[in-house]
Amino acid sequence: MIFSSYAFLLVFFPLVYLLFLVLRAWRLERAALAMLVVASLVFYGMWSWKYLGLLLGLIVINFVLGKQQVRHRAQAKVWLIVAVVFNLSVLAYFKYAGFFLGFLPESATWHIILPLGISFFTFQKIAWHVDLYQRRLPDTGTVLQYSFFVCFFPQLIAGPIVHARTLFPQISAGWFNRPLTWQLGLCLLTLGLMKKVLLADPLAPGVAMLFDSAQAGHALSAPEVLLAGLSYGLQLYFDFSGYADMAIGLGLMFGIKLPANFRSPYKSASIVEFWRRWHITLSGFLRDYLYIPLGGNRHGRLRANGNLLITMLLGGLWHGAGWQFILWGGVHGALLVINHYWRHLSRWRLPRLIAVPLTLLVVMLAWIPFRADSLTTSLHMFQGLTDWRLGGAFDLSQLLTEVATMQVVKTLPWVCAALLVLVLVTPGSRRLSLKLGATGRGVLVAVGLFMVLKALAGAPDRAFLYFNF
């Protein structure tokens, strides 16, 4: 069950929200919190009841470890190390065991299914332990509050990464005294659904065609490679930012403010600016819990650049167990180092009219290893950048047998061009929602939901791309 499905939109969410409103009307805050925890566990269990036990076990173990930190302050650092090592070990087993065993001679092939959302809620739990150790959190909270923090269904699977120090005050006494911004939340939910169903999902066949062609060994020309990077970059943005809009919108409808995860990243004029606008909560986590503990920029520029490269390499590895993700992280790390050196050595800045397209080009090319199935495929695609035959990008349809998919590939360049203009000229979802006003939001919700529900009729469920991470 995903947000963009009939099961969620017409059954699960209406029932949960109706029950929440009833409990809110009766002022039963603890009951509402418990209900949302149970609903979130059901939501997760719809994906895999097998891994629901894992999620529950991790909640219990981490809560106990957190209690030990608070009760035994003299040994708090020891308990913190135990907690961090434990959580990273669980993540490593499910996500990286097969990758590292591949280096052993005649190693057996592991077929471990990655538990949904484990990368995200692992980072949330680690941040909770560190905040307890640094006393940014006075206490662990109740087991009910902690369970809600870990498994609140809007952000459970793919973020935004939430900090307990910002969430706990929202669900403490007085939660029901704050007005629900349900209209803004519903508008954001609708915008997210439109991004996912009407924009991201239709791009998927064309994107898959380009990358599958490269994976099969076909030589791509430079226009094809550029189209592959651009089309996937747009698909990923609409898919992931659409999920973030839905999560934030759903949170607002329950009286919970989740952090922003995107601020029009493709309008960035530099790589540094891009990472301040893209996947903001992950960038913040890597900065606060990895880059700064490594030393940050406190020990000179050379050490700072090394710390930045390590952070981005590990950030790439967080996304997946493969050399292509390490390449992606390394490319962004190197670009950030170059960007910082440029700012340090020269006061001259490129005009924004040039800097934005240049940054966009680099980011889109960097998406190629992120989407490719292997490092070999990534390098094979980059080799195509030396071939500037015109017509190649539109001849891929010869490889196909289905007329519908041919049309997708033929029109893909024009669709991407139109969507890129849309991304560059329109404000972010929250700004747009606020600009529309109450009447405009009502019209958008009515028209948008109609279009989404119509598009979903007979269409297969397409999981969000970041569910793979």
What is the full DSSP assignment across 65-87?
HHHHHHH-GGGHHHHHHHHHHHH
Structural domain contains residue 280: no
Please tell me whether residues 221 and 150 are part of one structural domain.
no
Higher pLDDT, 345 or 104: 345
Q: Tell me which DSSP letter residue 139 carries.
A: S
Q: Which of 163, 178, 193 is the last residue of a domain?
A: 178
Please tell me whether residues 133 and 228 are part of one structural domain.
no
Mean pLDDT of 232-255: 98
Write down the mean pLDDT value for the chain: 91
If pLDDT is split at 50, 70 and 90, which confidence band does 173 have? Answer: confident
Q: Which of 161, 178, 195 is the last residue of a domain?
A: 178
d(CA 293, CA 169): 27
pTM for this prediction:
0.93
If pLDDT is split at 50, 70 and 90, which confidence band does 252 have? Answer: very high
Q: Tell me which DSSP letter residue 46 carries.
A: T
pLDDT at 321 over 90: no
Please tell me whether residues 224 and 238 are part of one structural domain.
yes
d(CA 6, CA 453): 8
Mean pLDDT of 10-28: 97
Please tell me whether residues 34 and 135 are part of one structural domain.
yes
Please tell me whether residues 136 and 38 are part of one structural domain.
yes
Structural domain contains residue 167: yes
pLDDT at 347 over 90: no
pLDDT at 398 over 60: no
Structural domain contains residue 94: yes
Is residue 319 part of the annotated active site? The answer reads: yes
Other residues' Cβ atoms within 10 Å of the Cβ of residue 278 = 22
Please tell me whether residues 143 and 260 are part of one structural domain.
no
If pLDDT is split at 50, 70 and 90, which confidence band does 60 have? Answer: very high
| Residue 327, SS3 per DSSP | helix
Number of domains within the chain: 2
pLDDT-wise least confident of 75-79, 318-322, 457-461: 457-461
Please tell me whether residues 28 and 142 are part of one structural domain.
yes
pLDDT at 401: 42
Q: Which two tokens stand for residue 186?
A: 């519903």
Q: Which of 158, 178, 198 is the last residue of a domain?
A: 178
pLDDT at 299: 82
Mean pLDDT of 360-377: 96
Q: Measured between alpha carbons, how far is residue 319 from residues 183, 309, 313, 330, 382 in Å?
A: 34, 16, 10, 13, 21
pLDDT tens for each residue of 33-43: 999 999 999 99
User: Helix 222-253 and helix 201-215: axis angle, to 10°?
Assistant: 140
Mean pLDDT of 295-311: 91
Please tell me whether residues 128 and 245 are part of one structural domain.
no
Structural domain contains residue 116: yes
Catalytic residue among 129, 163, 279, 319: 319
If pLDDT is split at 50, 70 and 90, which confidence band does 172 have? Answer: confident
State which residues form the domain around 416.
183-269+350-468
Please tell me whether residues 109 and 229 are part of one structural domain.
no
Q: Which residue has the tokens 């809560």?
A: 63
If pLDDT is split at 50, 70 and 90, which confidence band does 446 have? Answer: very high
Please tell me whether residues 169 and 128 are part of one structural domain.
yes
